Amino acid sequence: MAYVIAEPCIGTKDTACVDACPVDCIHPKKNEGDFVAQPQLYIDPVACIDCGACVPVCPVSAIFALDDLPGKWKQYAEINAKEALIAVVLRAEQS
């Protein structure tokens, strides 16, 4: 069960969660090329270790355990997975 960043993050993109994450699974970071273009941050469900360190530091309460994701935001599980995969490919191409 990974964590998911949902709608409240849109337009906010506070990166406290990025700093709190011990496994570097939240992207884009401020120094990544797609940071400005992305409307929100995303959690890579494959890299996420389900520690929950990101949850209490989110100032807009946008991060949920997959099982606790409100029904109105269920689509964000798929959005996070898709965008995380795209970010992995982009970072590999830039390396």
- Could you give the 3-state DSSP secondary structure of residue 26? strand
State the Cα–Cα distance between residues 10 and 49, nearest whole angstrom: 23
Contact 75, 5 (CB under 8 A): no
What is the pLDDT, as a whole number, of residue 92? Answer: 76
Residue 60 pLDDT > 90, yes or no?
yes
What is the pLDDT, as a whole number, of residue 84? Answer: 85
Question: What's the CATH number for 3-94?
Answer: 3.30.70.20
